[in-house]
Amino acid sequence: MSNQAWGGRFTDETDPRVARFTESISFDHKLFEQDVAASIAHARMLAQVGLITDAECAQIVQGLTEIRAEIAAGVFPFDVAREDIHMHIEAALIERLGDVGRKLHTARSRNDQVATDLRLWVREAIDGIDARIQGLQRAWLEFAARHREVILPGYTHLQRAQPVLAAHYALAYVEKLERDRGRLADCRRRVNVLPLGAAALAGTSLPIDREQVACALGFDAVAANSLDASSDRDFALEAVFACAVVALHLAGWAEEWVLWSTQEFGFLSLPDAVCTGSSIMPQKKNPDVCELIRGKSARVVADLTHLLVLVKGLPLAYNRDLQEDKRPVFDACETVASCLELAAVVVAGARLNAAAIAAGLDRGFLDATTLMEQLIGRGIPQRTAHELVGKLVARAESRGVTLAELTEDELRAVHPELGPWVRSTLGVPRAVAAFRSFGSTAPAEVDRQLAAWTERLTPASAPSPPPATVP
Ligand code: ARG
Mutation test of ligand 1: which of 30, 114, 120, 326 has the most ligand atoms closer than 8 Å to its C-beta? 114
| Nearest atom of ligand 1 to the alpha carbon of 200 | 10
Per residue in 397-449, pLDDT (tens digit) is: 999 999 999 999 999 999 999 999 999 999 999 999 999 999 999 999 999 99
Tell me how many helices (H) and strands (E) the chain has.
18, 6
**Residue 418, φ and ψ in degrees, nearest 5:** -85, 90
1 pLDDT higher than 50:
no
Per residue in 243-298, pLDDT (tens digit) is: 999 999 999 999 999 999 999 999 999 999 999 888 888 888 899 999 999 999 99
Q: CB neighbours of 212 closer than 8 A, spacing ≥ 6?
A: 41, 44, 45, 48
Spatial separation of the C-alpha atoms in residues 104 and 107, rounded to whole Å:
9
Per residue in 202-236, pLDDT (tens digit) is: 999 999 999 999 999 999 999 999 999 999 999 99
Question: Could you confirm whether 278 is annotated as catalytic?
Answer: yes
Q: What percent of the chain has pLDDT over 70?
A: 97
pTM for this structure?
A: 0.96
Domains and CATH numbers, the chain: 7-106 (1.10.275.10), 111-197+224-358 (1.20.200.10), 368-456 (1.10.40.30)
Q: CB neighbours of 462 closer than 8 A, spacing ≥ 6?
A: none
- The binding-site residues of ligand 1, defined as CB within 6 angstroms of any ligand atom, are 24, 28, 84, 110-111, 114, 318, 320, 322-323
Say if residue 458 is exposed, middle or buried (CB neighbours under 10 Å; 0-12, 13-18, 19+). exposed
Spatial separation of the C-alpha atoms in residues 180 and 294, rounded to whole Å:
17
Question: Could you confirm whether 338 is annotated as catalytic?
Answer: no
Spatial separation of the C-alpha atoms in residues 38 and 195, rounded to whole Å:
11
Task: Please give the average per-residue pLDDT across 339-360, as a whole number.
Answer: 97
| Nearest atom of ligand 1 to the alpha carbon of 322 | 12
Spatial separation of the C-alpha atoms in residues 413 and 407, rounded to whole Å:
10
Q: Are the C-beta atoms of residues 21 and 7 closer than 8 Å to each other?
A: no
